[in-house]
Structure 1
Amino acid sequence: MLECFDPHEQFHAPEHFRDAFPTDYEGGALDWPYYARVTENPTELDEIRANYVALVAMCDEYPGRLLDYFEAHDMWKETALAVSTDHGFLLSEHRWWGKCRMPYDEEISHLPQMIHDPCTPQAAGSRCGAVTQTPDIMPTPLGLHGAQLPHQVRAHDLAPLLAGNADWTCQDFTPLWSATPNSFAIALRADDDRFNDLSDLISCMKENP
Structure 2
Amino acid sequence: ADLATLDTLDSRDYRCGLAEVVKYAAIGNRPFFEWLDAHAGAFERFLLFVDEFDPHEPFDTPEPWAGKYDPQWEGPHLVWPPYMQGAVAQGVLDARQARQLRSCYGAKLSMIDHWFGRVLDAMDRHALWDDTLFIVCTDHGHYLGEKDIWGKPAVPVFNPLGHIPLLVHHPEVAPGARSALSTGVDLFATIAEVFGVEVRQRTHGVSLLPVLRGQAAQVRDHVLTGVWGREVCLVTPRHKYVRAPAAANAPLSMLSNRWSTMPTIVMDRDLALPLPDGRAFLDRMPGSEVPVIHQPYAAGDAVPFWARARFGGNHVYDLDADPAEEANLAGTAVEEALAGKLRAVLAQMGVPQAQFARLGL
Q: Find the aligned partners of 2:155 and 2:71 in 1 and give their Cα distance.
A: 28
Post-superposition offset of 1:117: 1.6
Asked if residue 195 in structure 1 is aligned to residue 195 in structure 2, the reply is no
Which digits, 9 at most, give the CA deviation of each residue in 1:29-60, with x for residues without a partner? 41111211323112111211111110011111
Q: Structure 1 unaligned segments of length 5 or more: list them.
A: 202-209
Mapped partners of 2:233, 2:52: distance in 1 = 23
TM-score (norm 2): 0.49
Q: Which has the larger radius of gyration?
A: 2
- Assess, with a 3 A threshold, how the Cα gap between structure 1 residues 56 and 69 changes in structure 2: closer, same or farther: same
Pick closer, same or farther for the CA change 1:186–1:54 going to 2, 3 Å. same
CA apart distance, 1:88: 0.4
Q: Give deviations 1:37-87, integer Å, cap 9, x for gaps.
A: 323112111211111110011111111111111112111011111001000
CA RMSD of aligned residues (A): 2.8
- The answer to whether the aligner puts 1:117 opposite 2:170 as a matched pair is yes
Question: Contact 2:77/2:104 (CA < 8 Å) preserved in 1?
Answer: no
List runs of 5+ in structure 2 lacking aligned partners.
Answer: 1-48, 236-341, 357-361
Q: Which residue of 1 is the match for residue 222 of structure 2?
A: 173
- For 1:116, the aligned partner's letter is H
SS in 2 for 1:69: helix
Distance in 2 of aligned mates of 1:140 and 1:130: 14
Asked whether 1:132 is paired with 2:186, we answer no
- 1:13 shift after superposition: 1.3
| Partner secondary structure for residue 18 of structure 1 | coil
Counterpart for residue 206 of structure 2: 156
Residue type at the aligned position of 2:173: P
My pick for the range that moved more, 51-60 or 143-152, is: 143-152
Give the Cα–Cα distance (whole angstroms) in 2 for the partners of residues 111 and 13 of structure 1. Answer: 23
Cα-to-partner distance string for 1:114-163 (whole Å, 9 max, x where unaligned): 11122x233x2x11111000111112111111111234112011111111
Q: Which SS does the other structure have where 1:115 is aligned?
A: strand
Provide closer, same or farther for how the CA distance between residues 24 and 174 of structure 1 changes in structure 2, counting only shifts above 3 A: closer
Q: Which residue among 72, 83, 107 is the counterpart of 2:160?
A: 107
Other-structure match for 1:206: none
How many residues are treated as equivalent by the alignment? 196
- Equivalent residue number for residue 205 of structure 1: none
**Secondary structure of 1:121 counterpart:** coil
Q: Partner letter of residue 31 of structure 1? A: V
SS class of match (2:160): helix
Give the match for residue 207 of structure 1.
Answer: none
Structure 1 runs (4+) greater than 6 angstroms displaced: 186-189
- CA distance in 2 between counterparts of 1:169 and 1:47 reads 41
Q: CA deviation at 1:185?
A: 4.5
The 3 A distance-change label for structure 1 pair 58 and 199 is farther
- The structure-2 alpha-carbon separation of the partners of 1:66 and 1:192, relative to structure 1 and needing over 3 Å to count, comes to farther
- The residue correspondences of 1:37-48 to structure 2 (distance < 5 A) are 37-38=86-87, 39-48=92-101
Q: CA deviation at 1:22?
A: 2.3
